[in-house]
Amino acid sequence: MNINATLIGQAIWFAVFIWITMKYVWPPLQKAMADRQAQIAEGLAAAERGKHEQELAAKRSADALREAKEKSADLVAQAEKRAQQIVEEAKGNAKVEADKVVAGAKAEIEQEVERAKQQLRERVAELAVAGAEKILRKEINASAHADMLVALKQDL
């Protein structure tokens, strides 16, 4: 144990090394470690956020899918309904048209019948007259029985 001036020298060394540590070692290391801690915390938070976001997106996409399905089902139903309507309409139109055609045809037929009857009437009268003429040529005068013939024509 001999204490001497080495004490002073060692105290100076000690002070110098404390100063180096205080100025050049500890602050940058502390900063680097704190920064890294912050970065890790941030990364973890970001991962958590991303996970949450992803869950939300999955929910949103499921929602959108369901909505689209509903919409498309609606559209299909509407289209079917419309097609039915068109078919119904077409059926109705065709019926009306057909009825018209039928009615037209019937009217024409009637007219034709009427005309044929008319002609027939005229022809029947002529034939009757001609027949009667032939019969009556021998017995009666045509002019004498004209009134009766006209009355007959009216009855037909």
6 vs 143 by CB, closer to other proteins: 6
State the chain's maximal CA–CA distance in angstroms: 197
Within a 13 Å sphere around the CA of 48, how many CA atoms are in the beta-carbon half? Answer: 6
Assess 30 for contact with other proteins (CB under 8 A): yes
Inter-residue contact 128 to 156 (CB < 8 Å)? no
Q: Is 43 in the site for other proteins (CB under 8 A)?
A: no
**Exposed (0-12), middle (13-18) or buried (19+): which is 71, by Cβ within 10 Å?**
exposed
- Cβ of residue 10: shortest distance to other proteins, in angstroms? 3
Q: Which residue, 9 or 50, has its beta carbon nearer to other proteins?
A: 9
Measuring CA to CA, which residue among 51, 53, 72 is closest to residue 61? Answer: 53
Site string for other proteins, 67-106 (x = CB under 8 A): ----------------------------------------
Instruction: Give the interface segment with other proteins, choosing from 11-19, 69-77, 97-105, 107-115 (CB under 8 A).
Output: 11-19
